[in-house]
Amino acid sequence: MDSPPRPQRPAPPPPAPRRPDTGEILQQIMAITDQSLEEAQARKHALNCHRMKPALFSVLCEIKEKTVLSIHGIQEEGPPNAQLMRLDNMLLAEGVSRPERRGRGGSAAAANTATPGGCPNDNSLEHSDYRAKLSQIRQIYHSELEKYEQACHEFTTHVTNLLREQSRMRPVSPKEIERMVGVIHGKFNAIQMQLKQSTCEAVMTLRSRFLDARRKRRNFSKQATEVLNEYFYSHLSNPYPSEEAKEELARRGGITVSQVSNWFGNKRIRYKKNMGKFQEEATIYTTKMTVDTTKVGGLGSQASCPSTPSSGSSGPFPLTSARDTLITLQTLASLRPAPAGGSLWSRARGSWQGAAPPVSTASPAGDPSGINSDASN
């Protein structure tokens, strides 16, 4: 270690030890901010051209060589970070990660089918609201992400430039710069993770709110209840619509198939529990159907009910009059005990028909056409 030439060898005893005054140092530091850029550049240039600079540089090199060993061990590698992966996966699954992918129909349709009793018509308003909010979240997420990435990039280049600049004054290896960049990226990644986390939270909140909203009960439209009641009372002896019939009823009522199923489940039970209460309703619908069928003459606009699809002879829903439907049902039932329909039918006979009251005979309106014969039969 060849000692660099000292400026004052005579070594006059310093008049005062001149303890490092922290206040003074602080003031100097603060003064830096007051310096103009030119001033700072000039100072830097002066420092660079200082005759002591090479000496200082070598000293720093030496110090560094000693310390680099201890630094070596610190080398912290970012952990694989399972949580970040989980967040990424979730954001991907929720369609947040993809930046406004056009034609999100695929995942949207999947979500639709995934939701139990997902309703394409009824909940469309709420659904679009949900999607709008999700899109909003996605937008915010991406703009923030972009900001972070830009800031990270800017900061990285800034630090890199700074280090390169400093490398003229002190030994800075490219590997060190690389490491510093890694550290910066790590810090920004932490921020990014926070962003992802809060985005996930927002999506979850939105989701739960949406589900709660869907859980809210809303009475069916008059049209829907009419369609359902018409079918119910015209098939009183066997109020078990087939899958196709349910679909047709759902379509006509503007509700979902599962809602139709729910409705029939509730209706059967409540009817059976309190038949007296439903007598009036039964009369209303059966007479209504009589009027409709006689008026329309079997074309069945409102009153017509999808007959059993198991016949398969004509279309899925041969629109016949209530009486025709009944006949078809009965003949079908007597002709062929269908595999699925058969068990249903027998089940209905066992548990349902036994409980079903003779609506037609009890009907106070004294229906002359005896349209309710299916109920009494």
Q: Does 261 bind DNA (CB under 7 A)?
A: yes
From 117, 316, 357, 370, residue interacting with DNA (rule: CB under 7 A): 117
Q: Does 243 bind DNA (CB under 7 A)?
A: yes
Residue 128 Cβ vs DNA, minimum distance, rounded to whole Å:
18
Q: Does 344 bind DNA (CB under 7 A)?
A: yes
Residue with tokens 């280090």: 163
Residues 6+ apart with CB under 8 A from 24: none
Q: Does 259 bind DNA (CB under 7 A)?
A: yes
> Is 260 in contact with 250 (CB distance < 8 Å)?
yes
For DNA, which is the closer residue by CB, 199 or 229? Answer: 229
H-state helical runs in the chain: 22-34, 37-48, 53-74, 82-93, 105-114, 124-166, 174-215, 222-234, 243-253, 257-273, 275-296, 322-335, 339-347, 359-362, 373-376
Residue 261 Cβ vs DNA, minimum distance, rounded to whole Å:
5
From 179, 202, 220, 338, residue interacting with DNA (rule: CB under 7 A): 220
Residue 228 Cβ vs DNA, minimum distance, rounded to whole Å:
8
Q: Does 240 bind DNA (CB under 7 A)?
A: yes
From 156, 160, 197, 225, residue interacting with DNA (rule: CB under 7 A): 225
* Backbone conformation region of residue 372, classed left if phi is above 0, alpha if psi is from -120 to 50, else beta: alpha
Q: Does 222 bind DNA (CB under 7 A)?
A: no
Q: Does 312 bind DNA (CB under 7 A)?
A: no
Q: Does 238 bind DNA (CB under 7 A)?
A: no
From 157, 266, 314, 361, residue interacting with DNA (rule: CB under 7 A): 266
From 6, 19, 102, 217, residue interacting with DNA (rule: CB under 7 A): 217
For DNA, which is the closer residue by CB, 247 or 292? Answer: 247
> What phi and psi values does residue 279 have, to the nearest 5 degrees?
-55, -45
Q: How far is CA 129 from the centre of its chain?
A: 12
Q: Does 347 bind DNA (CB under 7 A)?
A: yes
Q: Does 101 bind DNA (CB under 7 A)?
A: no
Q: Buried (b) or exposed (e) across 134-157, using 16+ Cβ within 10 A?
A: beebbeebbebbeebeeebeeebe
Residue 332 Cβ vs DNA, minimum distance, rounded to whole Å:
16
> Is 348 in contact with 257 (CB distance < 8 Å)?
no
> What phi and psi values does residue 305 have, to the nearest 5 degrees?
-125, 145
From 98, 142, 179, 272, residue interacting with DNA (rule: CB under 7 A): 272
Q: For DNA, which stretch binds (CB under 7 A), given 7-15, 25-33, 147-155, 268-276?
A: 268-276
What's the rounded Cα separation, in Å, for the pair 250 and 306? 12
For DNA, which is the closer residue by CB, 233 or 264? Answer: 264
From 270, 295, 336, 349, residue interacting with DNA (rule: CB under 7 A): 270
Residue with tokens 């999607």: 131
> Is 81 in contact with 192 (CB distance < 8 Å)?
no
What's the rounded Cα separation, in Å, for the pair 88 and 160? 29
Q: For DNA, which stretch binds (CB under 7 A), given 29-37, 157-165, 342-350, 357-365?
A: 342-350
Residues in the chain: 377
Q: For residue 282, give the nearest of 365, 345, 221, 217 by alpha carbon.
A: 365
Interface with DNA (CB under 7 A): 116-117, 214-220, 225, 240, 243, 258-259, 261-266, 268-270, 272, 277, 344, 347-348, 351-352
